[in-house]
Chains A and B, each alone.
Chain A
Amino acid sequence: MTDHCDDTLGVGLLCEGQHEPGTPPAGLRRAPSGVDGLTTEHLIINMGPQHPSTHGVLRMIIEVDGEEVVAAEVSVGYLHRGIEKLAEHRRYDAVGTLMDRGDYVSGIMGELAFALATEQLMEIEVPRKAHWLRSLTSELNRLASHLVWYGTFGLDTGAMGQFLYAMREREALLDILEAISGQRMMFNYVRPGGVVADLPVGVEEKIRAFLGTFPMYLDEYDQLLGGNEIFQARVKGIGVIDRDMALAFGLTGANLRASGVDFDIRKARPYAAYPELDFDVPLGAKGDAWDRYTVRMGEMAQSARMIGQLIDGMPEGEHTAKVPRIIRPAAGESYASVESSRGETAVHLVSDGTEHPYRMHYRGPSLYAVQALEELLPGHLLGDVVMLIGSTDVMLGEIDR
């Protein structure tokens, strides 16, 4: 990476001279080196889409020299469902269900991005309570999503112990989210104008009970995985994404913050109730897999902190604005982004004034992370490949859409 990239955000995303013309990027194949005159051959391995730990249906074509990865090619699209196209044939209030199925582990954030984009077009004011409920469900969902990441990251390293512990906490969270929205994963809770329903009776106690034990368990889980010397030896120093590379690939979320860039949509372009909340943004320094681990663990603690504040300060009032039954926003374009569990999840909406979106673009942060893998993998061992996929926390539902 050259150093004439400007560090400030938005400028650094497209800096010149990152790949000098004529030189192949690091991901391209090279001929076997041949040690001591021996003719050796590289092995090309097709990893996925059916592989135990490619987190869904990610396919990678990996060229290895023994166990060392020489080149990697990421092939996506095995989970394509045409969410963007389908959205063009639905009414605005029905697109939320599609957004749930994008990043299906953190559905609330996808719904929220779409709702925010629609509200921008409609120019309606969302009641304060709806903002708070959106933040509350977002943070609950972020915890649930990060717990899946924590569990599967452990599985990638070969540790089975912590997976079901994480699932236990996630179960409690899904119960809470089910009580709030009526669904465990495909919530369809956040709609243009507000949210579907107010908090039901008894859910506040459930959340408080969860918060009573969660910080203790989080420490325990951090000890179980992060405190393990073998785990540390495996993640420290691998998959270093430096600041420039992170910006050049357009990484967002924990993957970006692990590289030391202080950029969180919740702070940078505040939405929902985040301006009123007190929380920190954990940052990494080196940008290796260990930093990504610590940043995500830190985020979980911050989410728990925010949930406490949201429950304590939940305002009174309406949970949704008055929205016409059939939404026909004015013709125009809008872009709204939220900080999802994986980074900047955004919706770019084009309306032609009819009841269907003219075009909806869904920006999923994992697509950017998975592209960085191609440059990240060469030089690592085969065992690190799954670790790097795990550490970037890619979600195929949102890559393939």
Chain B
Amino acid sequence: MSAIGISALKVLAALGLMLANGVVMIYMLRKVLGHLHIRLGPMHVGWKGTLQTVMDVLKLLTKEDITPRAVDRWLFRIAPAVVFIPSLMAYAALPFSDTWRVTNLDTGLLYTFAVLSLVPMGILMAGWASNNKWSLLGGMRAAAQQIAYEVPLLLSVLPIVMLVGSMNLGVIVEAQRGTVLAVIPRWFIMNPLFWPTFLLYSVSALIETNQTPFDMSEAESEIVAGFATEYSAMKFGLLFLSEFSNQFIVAALTVTLFFGGWTLPWIPEAVSNSFGPVVFMLKTYLVIAVMMWIRGTFPRVRIDQLMQLGWQRLIPISLVWIVFSGIVIKVWS
């Protein structure tokens, strides 16, 4: 098969994964939130409500796609695509195992962050084009928030890049293979040097993906549905699919950077490699479950508090930590 054919297959596989993830994650969100809220979540469609989200996607597909009269038609239509496509592109560098990946990019980490930072542009477009004041506020919030948090997100993981000496996500995972003292996994989360890194990264990542307590751009109690207020049918579906997809990508990055990616400690390399994708997905979904747990529990911060946190705390702290961990890594080696 030609190289183009293989690439096309990979894109289709990524798309399929994205859709499947969306369906599974929405079901999971409803169940996790349901049980956190002492109720059951969906129970009626399919076994334990498993088909509920499938039916919801079908409903979204068959609903009338309303384009309000006063919107900027062009922007309004392409905005969901501008949000959706970067989400899809971000799957390219994720290493599901040593062989299962779309590409083996040497700048994988930078690429993923760069692609994800295109998403707020689409959100801003959606907010502006909707010609709705709530949407505009939501779009503006998204833009302000993402500009403030791109920086600490990338800065926060630099110590890892310095230690590993590569931005290739596969290499970062390989560096975490094996155990220390035969018991403790060599995962970066086990390394005290990276605990502040992990904290900075998790806060920035939650904000980056619009998760509670930082879901400013669609704060339903304040600004109705934010940038998505005027969207209906599958356009709305695309906006939300890409949101869940971003959440998945950020969780996958967390696993790759801190929890040893597809590797498992205590098990011979050849064995653990053979079911690498399964391990990777399980770990990712555990991280997602924690994100949903946070979502079900925490109130939302205010926009000025969010901005202060970003510019006044996270950025200086991550800069200081880069310097400090740089010295430590230099002295250590």
Q: Is B313 an interface residue (CB 8 A)?
A: no
Contacts of A234 in B (CB 8 A): 299-302, 305
Question: CB < 8 Å: which of A160, A230, A231, A381 contacts B304?
Answer: A381
User: Of B94-102, B105-113, B214-222, B281-289, which stretch is located at the interface?
Assistant: B214-222
Q: Is the CB of A160 within 8 A of B222?
A: no
Q: Is the CB of B221 within 8 A of A53?
A: yes
Q: Is B36 an interface residue (CB 8 A)?
A: yes
Cβ proximity bits A347-391 to B, threshold 8 Å, 1 near / 0 not: 000000000000000000000000000000000011111100000
Cβ proximity bits A217-244 to B, threshold 8 Å, 1 near / 0 not: 0000000110010110110000000000
A154 to chain B: closest residue by CB: B299
Q: Which residue, A43, A164, A225, has most C-beta atoms of chain B within 10 A?
A: A164
Question: CB < 8 Å: which of B212, B220, B299, B303 contacts A52?
Answer: B220
Interface of B is mostly: helix
Q: Is the CB of B38 within 8 A of A53?
A: no
Q: How many residues of A contact B (CB 8 A)?
A: 31
Q: Is the CB of A164 within 8 A of B221?
A: no
Q: Is the CB of A163 within 8 A of B37?
A: yes
Question: CB < 8 Å: which of B133, B221, B299, B301 contacts A225?
Answer: B299
Question: CB < 8 Å: which of B133, B136, B297, B302 contacts A159?
Answer: B297
Size category of the B interface is: 20 to 34
Question: CB < 8 Å: which of B133, B219, B224 contacts A158?
Answer: B219
Q: Is the CB of B222 within 8 A of A385?
A: yes
* Bound: A382/B221 CA distance, A: 11
Contacts of B44 in A (CB 8 A): none
Interface of A is mostly: helix
Cβ proximity bits A27-58 to B, threshold 8 Å, 1 near / 0 not: 00000000000000001010000011100000
Q: State whether A158 and B304 are in contact (beta carbons under 8 Å apart), knowing that A52-B221, A228-B298 are contacts in the complex.
A: no
Contacts of A156 in B (CB 8 A): 221
Question: CB < 8 Å: which of A43, A154, A228, A383 contacts B219?
Answer: A383
Q: Is A301 an interface residue (CB 8 A)?
A: no
Q: Is the CB of B33 within 8 A of A160?
A: yes
**Minimum Cβ distance to chain A for residue B25 (Å):** 17
Contacts of A381 in B (CB 8 A): 302-304
Q: Is A67 an interface residue (CB 8 A)?
A: yes
Q: Is the CB of A386 within 8 A of B303?
A: no
* Bound: A286/B224 CA distance, A: 31
Q: Is A157 an interface residue (CB 8 A)?
A: yes
Q: Is B213 an interface residue (CB 8 A)?
A: yes
Q: Is the CB of A233 within 8 A of B305?
A: yes
Q: Is the CB of B33 within 8 A of A158?
A: no
Question: CB < 8 Å: which of A52, A160, A384 contacts B296?
Answer: A160
* Bound: A239/B38 CA distance, A: 33
Q: Is the CB of A158 within 8 A of B297?
A: no
Q: Is the CB of A158 within 8 A of B137?
A: no
Q: State whether A158 and B37 are in contact (beta carbons under 8 Å apart), knowing that A233-B305, A384-B302, A385-B222 are contacts in the complex.
A: no
* Bound: A395/B221 CA distance, A: 17
Q: State whether A157 and B299 are in contact (beta carbons under 8 Å apart), knowing that A43-B133, A52-B220, A164-B38 are contacts in the complex.
A: yes
* Bound: A234/B55 CA distance, A: 38
Q: Is the CB of B221 within 8 A of A386?
A: yes
Q: Is the CB of B33 within 8 A of A53?
A: no
**Minimum Cβ distance to chain A for residue B294 (Å):** 10
Q: Is B223 an interface residue (CB 8 A)?
A: yes
Q: State whether A164 and B39 are in contact (beta carbons under 8 Å apart), knowing that A158-B299, A381-B302 are contacts in the complex.
A: yes
**Minimum Cβ distance to chain B for residue A381 (Å):** 6
Of residues 216 to 236 in B, which have CB atoms within 8 Å of A's CB atoms?
219-224
* Bound: A43/B140 CA distance, A: 13
Q: Is A78 an interface residue (CB 8 A)?
A: no
Q: Is the CB of A230 within 8 A of B296?
A: no
B39 to chain A: closest residue by CB: A164
Q: Is the CB of B137 within 8 A of A67?
A: yes
Of residues 303 to 326 in B, which have CB atoms within 8 Å of A's CB atoms?
303-305
Q: Is the CB of A51 within 8 A of B219?
A: no
Of residues 34 to 70 in B, which have CB atoms within 8 Å of A's CB atoms?
36-39
Of residues 153 to 203 in A, which have CB atoms within 8 Å of B's CB atoms?
154-161, 163-165, 168
Contacts of A233 in B (CB 8 A): 301-302, 305
Contacts of B295 in A (CB 8 A): 160
* Bound: A228/B60 CA distance, A: 36
Q: State whether A159 and B300 are in contact (beta carbons under 8 Å apart), knowing that A45-B133, A385-B222, A386-B222 are contacts in the complex.
A: yes
Contacts of A158 in B (CB 8 A): 212-213, 215, 219-221, 298-300
* Bound: A225/B299 CA distance, A: 8
Contacts of A155 in B (CB 8 A): 221
**Minimum Cβ distance to chain A for residue B290 (Å):** 15
Question: CB < 8 Å: which of B33, B36, B37, B137 contacts A382?
Answer: B137
Q: State whether A228 and B299 are in contact (beta carbons under 8 Å apart), knowing that A160-B33, A164-B38, A233-B305 are contacts in the complex.
A: yes
**Minimum Cβ distance to chain B for residue A331 (Å):** 50
* Bound: A233/B221 CA distance, A: 17
* Bound: A382/B305 CA distance, A: 13
Q: Which residue, A51, A67, A158, A384, has most C-beta atoms of chain B within 10 A?
A: A158
Q: Is the CB of B38 within 8 A of A230?
A: no
Contacts of A383 in B (CB 8 A): 219, 222, 300, 302-303
Question: CB < 8 Å: which of B222, B224, B296 contacts A161?
Answer: B296
B305 to chain A: closest residue by CB: A233
Question: CB < 8 Å: which of B134, B215, B298 contacts A230?
Answer: B298
Q: Is the CB of B299 within 8 A of A230?
A: yes
Question: CB < 8 Å: which of B37, B38, B221 contacts A157?
Answer: B221
Contacts of A159 in B (CB 8 A): 297-300
**Minimum Cβ distance to chain B for residue A60 (Å):** 13
Contacts of A386 in B (CB 8 A): 221-222
Contacts of A230 in B (CB 8 A): 213, 298-301
Contacts of B37 in A (CB 8 A): 160-161, 163-165
Contacts of A157 in B (CB 8 A): 221, 299-300
**Minimum Cβ distance to chain B for residue A56 (Å):** 14
Q: Which residue, B38, B295, B301, has most C-beta atoms of chain A within 10 A?
A: B301
A-B pairs, 8 with minimum CB distance: A158-B300, A157-B299, A159-B299, A53-B221, A164-B37, A161-B297, A383-B302, A231-B299
User: What are 29 A-B residue pairs whose CB atoms fall within 8 Å in the complex?
Assistant: A51-B224, A52-B224, A53-B221, A67-B137, A67-B304, A155-B221, A157-B300, A158-B215, A159-B300, A160-B33, A160-B295, A160-B296, A161-B36, A161-B37, A161-B297, A161-B298, A164-B37, A164-B39, A228-B298, A230-B213, A230-B299, A230-B301, A233-B301, A381-B302, A381-B303, A382-B303, A383-B303, A384-B302, A385-B222
Chain A residues with CB under 8 Å of chain B are 43, 45, 51-53, 67, 154-161, 163-165, 168, 224-225, 228, 230-231, 233-234, 381-386
